[in-house]
Every structure is written in structure tokens, then in C-alpha cells.
Amino acid sequence: MKVRQRWDRWDAIGAAAVFVVFDEPELLRRTMFDGVEVADLPFEVAVDQERGAYRAWGLRRARHRDIWLDPNVYRTYWRLLRAGDRLRPGGADLLQLGGDFVVDPGGSIAYARPQHRDDRPAVGELLAAAKRSRGPGER
């Protein structure tokens, strides 16, 4: 998670971050944080297993071909297998897409990038949006 690796820059501008996930918490602990304990993460990880927030924020589902032609899917499975995990029938929704938003200090959207495939903005782009959202007097 690249934001965590550059957390000092988020902290320096006084920004908060909330990562929203819909997987089972135990799967997240195994796959997401590179062994870092949840209690030591500098941001919140919110769990939305029913995906009500995904719907409220208008996030789409991908087409099957977008998923199965995506090399990141195979990298993730390879990483899990190397870690001793087993492939198993999931039930997880592989088609659910995510998105990145920056909310300004007043509660309005300052930046929006809903995913269309496996596209995610660079951390620097998100940081720049967060800085701009503070207004001209605080950059």
C-alpha cells in the first residue's frame, strides 16, 4: 500500500485517510499490510462487506474480460500461493471496482477518480489534490 510507505507526507499536510475494503477482515490481514499489525497502521481501514458505501459512492463493477486480462490478478494469486495460501472457491466479487477521492476540509469532493479497470492515481497526484483542497492560505 503505497500511501503507507509515504505516510509522512500525508501527515505533514494534516490529511487523514480512510481505506474502504469489502473483504473478510482475516483475508485482509493476510494480504494487505505486509505483516504490519492493524493497530500500527497510521490510517483507518473501514470494512464494508455489504458494499453499501461502494454503491453510495457510485462505484462500478468491471466486465469479466477486464479482470481476467489483468496481470495484477495473476500476481496476487502467485503471491498468495507463495505465502502458503491455497486457491479456493471464493464468493468474493472480483468485478467490484474501487476509486480514490479527496474530500476537502469542508466536506466537498476536491478530487474524484473512480476506477474503470485497474487504474489508480499516483500517490503524488492524490497528495497534490489534498494540498490544493486546503485552500490558498494553507499550501
Partner 1 sequence: MTTTPPAPGDTAPPLDLPTLRGGRVALRDLRGRPVLVSFLRHAG
What residues line the site for partner 1 (CB under 8 A)? 3, 10, 13-23, 25, 27-32, 38-39, 44-48, 53-59, 76-77, 80, 85, 90, 92-94, 96-112, 114-115, 126, 130-131, 133-134
- CB nearer to partner 1: pick between 55 and 63: 55
| Least distance from partner 1 to the Cβ atom of residue 41, Å | 8
The C-alpha cell 499490510 sits at: 33
State in angstroms the smallest separation of the CB of 28 from partner 1. Answer: 6
Rounded CA-CA distance 121/99 in Å is 9
Asked if residue 41 lies in contact with residue 4, where contact means CB atoms within 8 angstroms, the answer is: yes
Calculate the CA dihedral of residues 58, 5, 42, 15 and round it to 10 degrees: -60
Distances in whole angstroms, Cα of residue 53 to Cα of each of 32, 48, 114: 20, 7, 13
How far apart CA 54 and CA 21 sit, in angstroms, is 9
Closest CB to partner 1 among residues 68, 97: 97
Decide whether 69 or 92 has the Cβ nearer to partner 1: 92
**Could you tell me how many residues make up the chain?**
139
Minimum CB–partner distance for residue 44 and partner 1 (Å)? 4
Q: How far is the CB of 23 from partner 1 (least distance, A)?
A: 5
Select 44 or 63, whichever has its Cβ closest to partner 1: 44
